[in-house]
Amino acid sequence: MLTTLRRIVLEFSQEAELQNALERMVYNVKKAMKTDCCSIYLADYHQQHFLLMASDGLAKTSVGETSIGFSEGLVGLVGQREEPLNIADAQQHQDYMHAPEVEEDDFNAFLGTPIIHQRKVLGILAIQQKESRHYTENDEAFLVTLSAQLASALANAEVKNLLSHQQQKNQGVKQLHGIAGAPGIALSEIIVCQPQADLAAVSLKKSPDSQKQLLRFEQAVEKTRIEFDVLSSQLSEAIDDDSLAIFDVYKQLLEQASLGHEVAAKISKGWRADSALKLVIEHYISQFEAIEDSYFRERASDIRDLGTRLLVNIQQQAKEELELPKEFILLAQDVSASLVAQYQHQGLLGIISLTGSNNSHAAILARSLGLPAIMGVNALVLGQLHQQQAIIDGYSGELFINPDEGLIREYQYLLSQEKALTDKVMEVAQLPCITQDGRAIEVLLNAGLSAGFEHSAKLGALGIGLYRTEIPFMNRNCFPSEQEQTQLYRKVLQVFPKHGVTMRTLDVGGDKSLPYFPINEENPFLGWRGIRITLDHPEIFLVQVRAMLRANQGLNNLEIMLPMISGVEEIDEANRLINQAFFELKAELTKDITTELMSARNEDGHLTLQQAQQKAQAVSAKLVRPKIGIMLEVPSVIFQMEALAKRVDFFSVGSNDLTQYLLAVDRNNSQVANLYDAFHPAVLNALNSIAQQSAKYLTPISLCGELASQPAGAILLLAMGFDKISMNGHNVPRIKWVIRHISFEQAQNILNKTLTLTTAKEVHSYLNEQLEVLGLGGFIRAGF
């Protein structure tokens, strides 16, 4: 029967039209189960009924016409109970509903099972037979298994056919759902951008003239590099922050020392330029797609975008210019950062990508540009949407096609509110983040893509609460040298010379493996990562710490943070290595400066060796050992706070990972992502406990994570006693406005009540209610 099951599901999935798929499926089920009738009903939540969509056995005229209310008949009972219903004589059952138009008077036996996808009943699959009997356990097991396998395929098929089916019925189109990639609202016409070249379509061929092929590739590289320079220049007029670094990454990959070298090597072995490019790009894509961490997995999209642009120039295709209206929403299979850059100054109002997540560079750029974006709206057909009117809601991830006048008016009102709110919050961007009764909390920046943080500084960030040093390690084909790291870290530290910059040591391994340092594990989230890998490789750790210390000379605004700490032994070993790096560097500086002074002493020779050494020691004394802190993201640290506080200068909670580990939920797994919620009572109580213990042991505490960037989250963290919160630059003014319009006493009252609630749903409801009471209701949607 397993073979039969697979065949039925495969046929259903491969059918382009939903109605055809349903009709073929009921025919196959009836035949496989040797019964007299098979029917499928789909749920319509707007009308609150199940509609008969296909049947092999019931009257053909009733298909598409007969509906059964959610609380009516045996079909409704299956939906209500969310479990199979096996009845020998259905017509004698108390819930049986007679519908003469379906012509089922001859049927007695009934077996129905719900089709459920992500806790939502999509429909009912039912079989019937003239003979009065209970279906066997094997029959029931087959139907239940088939329904479970059909659920995902049916969910995708419904979305694919949503537009055409609804338009045929002249009904308003209900919203489609994706991933909220960047906050905001856009109402406009959709313009579909199709790829101009397809690497997958390139056939692998060799050429007898390698020099000619190499010249083709080099010319394509140069043309692509110029295109990226133009795009980066255009973008820099609109934004000036670290999201622009993607174009530096693209250009680095084009260099001979990186991807360009690998393509050239393939060409030298006889491959044509396009074939060599295909081999190298697809290899990189497969490497990145195998990484479990969502941020790094999204880099596969960047590599694919780079490869496509190179292929266009290798094939010397003329770029087709889209006919653009004055304002539009861009839709593509995979919206890339370069596509955003290409269209952002031509009337682009929003972005829809059928693939990707909120970690894609397109989403990052969209947030910097203030463009709403929805990612991962899969299972749509591009051609159906070109030039359709749409509304995208970047807060909720909802997409509306051909909205009616009522919906348009509603969103136009929301847009006007949003603009007024944005203008309002910018008034406090440069003011202190302090409550009405004098309680202060520092608002810092999360960064790491490049050193260009001036834009975020203008938004009012007082420093960097989290600088992710692993990004420069990712954009290479080998570990960066001490000198390279020093130059990079120096640029970062110089952006906030009067404020602290917290740099996290290399946080890779397991779920974020480097291309040149691959790690394969069965359970990477609980594996070899963060401090575990750098302590196992002190040669990597020492070089990075030395680079940080060198970069900090004369600035003294560096703080070093250790990731993924789970016990005191790791801190002790890390501190030992940091001290080793510090004293080694201090001795080196003294020796180097002494040698330099002695070689440049005055002609009279008045500068003695002892004097030179004293001057050198005075200079090296300016090398300051920075504060050392740890990230609290592994639940075990909650129970070791006293011992940890004796060993470090500060704590910083990584709320994203802490939430993930506390709730045992992989937030990148769509099957369980809805269970991931930083407002879960367990998470909030853990954070409150951490804050109380930090205060008890007189250790400063900060938080870097999505919770800090949400107005309600910031209020709770303020009340708990967090000293600093860190977020992306876009949210800094919003959070400052919220904090400046509440008293610390009000925040504490809200926290005390919140900590008594037992479900995340209750927490969200209560906090939204309190924001309304405080006159901050406009920030409920803005709390992205």
CATH number at residue 224: 1.10.274.10
Is residue 518 domain-shared with residue 580, that is, in the same domain?
yes
Is residue 144 domain-shared with residue 282, that is, in the same domain?
no
Burial of residue 497 (number of CB atoms within 10 Å: 0-12, 13-18, 19+) = exposed
CA–CA separation, 660 and 58 (whole Å) = 49
CA–CA separation, 469 and 320 (whole Å) = 39
The band of 166, judged by pLDDT with boundaries at 50, 70 and 90, is very low
Confirm whether 704 is a catalytic residue: yes
pLDDT, residue 261, reads 80
Count of residues in the chain: 784
Is residue 611 domain-shared with residue 706, that is, in the same domain?
yes
pLDDT, residue 256, reads 52
Give CA separation, 3 vs 108, 146, 154, in Å.
29, 12, 20
Average pLDDT, integer, range 254-280: 81
331 within a domain of the structure (yes/no): yes
Q: Which residue has the higher pLDDT, 208 or 84?
A: 84
Residue 451 has pLDDT above 50, yes or no: no
646 within a domain of the structure (yes/no): yes
Average pLDDT, integer, range 433-449: 90
Residue 502 has pLDDT above 90, yes or no: yes
Residue 487 has pLDDT above 50, yes or no: yes
Among 159-163, 254-258, 429-433, 456-460, the range with the most confident prediction by mean pLDDT is 429-433
Q: Could you tell me which residues are beta bridge partners of residue 190?
A: 329
- pLDDT tens-digit readout, 379-388: 555 656 777 8
Number of domains in the chain: 4
pLDDT, residue 515, reads 61
390 within a domain of the structure (yes/no): yes
Confirm whether 177 is a catalytic residue: no
Is residue 346 domain-shared with residue 456, that is, in the same domain?
no
Q: Which residue type sits at 468?
A: R
Residue 345 has pLDDT above 60, yes or no: yes
Is residue 684 domain-shared with residue 655, that is, in the same domain?
yes
- pLDDT tens-digit readout, 38-73: 999 999 887 899 999 999 999 999 999 999 999 999
Task: Find the domain containing 8 and state its range.
Answer: 2-168
**Residue 465 belongs to domain with CATH number:** 3.20.20.60
pLDDT, residue 116, reads 92
pLDDT, residue 154, reads 81
The band of 512, judged by pLDDT with boundaries at 50, 70 and 90, is low
- pLDDT tens-digit readout, 732-781: 898 999 999 999 999 999 999 999 999 999 999 999 999 989 888 777 66
The band of 438, judged by pLDDT with boundaries at 50, 70 and 90, is very high
Residue of 439, 563, 545 lying closest to 489 (CA atoms) = 545
548 close to 493: Cβ distance less than 8 angstroms: no
The band of 571, judged by pLDDT with boundaries at 50, 70 and 90, is very high
CA–CA separation, 221 and 252 (whole Å) = 11
pLDDT, residue 780, reads 67
Average pLDDT, integer, range 504-508: 88
Q: Which residue has the higher pLDDT, 502 or 203?
A: 502
Q: How many CB atoms lie within 10 A of CB 129?
A: 22
The band of 219, judged by pLDDT with boundaries at 50, 70 and 90, is confident
Boundary residue ending a domain (286, 314, 342): 314
pLDDT, residue 165, reads 45
The band of 715, judged by pLDDT with boundaries at 50, 70 and 90, is very high
137 within a domain of the structure (yes/no): yes
Is residue 68 domain-shared with residue 133, that is, in the same domain?
yes
Lowest mean pLDDT, pick from 62-66, 196-200, 235-239, 495-499: 235-239
Residue of 627, 626, 691, 628 lying closest to 658 (CA atoms) = 691
What's the whole-number average pLDDT of the chain? 83
Catalytic residue among 38, 193, 433, 704: 704
Average pLDDT, integer, range 668-696: 87
CA–CA separation, 733 and 428 (whole Å) = 7
CA–CA separation, 384 and 10 (whole Å) = 24
Q: What kind and span of H or E run contains 114?
A: strand 109-117
pLDDT, residue 155, reads 75
SS3 760: helix
305 within a domain of the structure (yes/no): yes
Give CA separation, 416 vs 100, 184, 186, 188, in Å.
53, 11, 11, 15
774 close to 742: Cβ distance less than 8 angstroms: yes
pLDDT, residue 572, reads 96
Percent of the chain whose predicted confidence (pLDDT) is above 90: 41
Average pLDDT, integer, range 354-358: 75
Boundary residue ending a domain (314, 330, 362): 314
32 within a domain of the structure (yes/no): yes
- Per DSSP, the residues of 575-617 read HHHHHHHHHHHHHHHHHHHHHHHHHT--TT----HHHHHHHHH
Catalytic residue among 37, 38, 361, 433: 361
**Residue 110 belongs to domain with CATH number:** 3.30.450.40
Q: Is the dihedral of CA 425, 427, 433, 435 positive or negative?
A: negative
543 close to 577: Cβ distance less than 8 angstroms: no
CA–CA separation, 725 and 466 (whole Å) = 10
Is residue 204 domain-shared with residue 248, that is, in the same domain?
yes
Boundary residue ending a domain (275, 293, 314): 314
436 close to 742: Cβ distance less than 8 angstroms: yes
Percent of the chain whose predicted confidence (pLDDT) is above 70: 80
Is residue 612 domain-shared with residue 706, that is, in the same domain?
yes
The band of 454, judged by pLDDT with boundaries at 50, 70 and 90, is very low
Is residue 297 domain-shared with residue 332, that is, in the same domain?
no
Lowest mean pLDDT, pick from 22-36, 137-151, 559-573, 596-610: 596-610
Is residue 654 domain-shared with residue 710, that is, in the same domain?
yes
Is residue 240 domain-shared with residue 183, that is, in the same domain?
no
Lowest mean pLDDT, pick from 287-296, 360-369, 508-517, 735-744: 508-517
Among 236-245, 462-471, 536-545, 669-678, the range with the most confident prediction by mean pLDDT is 536-545
Q: Which residues of 518-556 are buried (b: 16+ CB within 10 A; e: fewer)?
A: ebeeeebeebbbbbbbbbeebebbbbbbbbbbbbbbeee
**Residue 384 belongs to domain with CATH number:** 3.50.30.10
Joined tokens for residue 763: 């927490």
CA–CA separation, 429 and 730 (whole Å) = 11
pLDDT, residue 671, reads 65
227 within a domain of the structure (yes/no): yes
517 within a domain of the structure (yes/no): yes
698 close to 671: Cβ distance less than 8 angstroms: no
pLDDT, residue 452, reads 47
- Per DSSP, the residues of 267-332 read HHTTB-HHHHHHHHHHHHHHHHHT--SHHHHTHHHHHHHHHHHHHHHHTTPPPPPP---SSEEEEE
Is residue 475 domain-shared with residue 539, that is, in the same domain?
yes
pLDDT, residue 784, reads 36
Residue corresponding to tokens 């302590």: 535
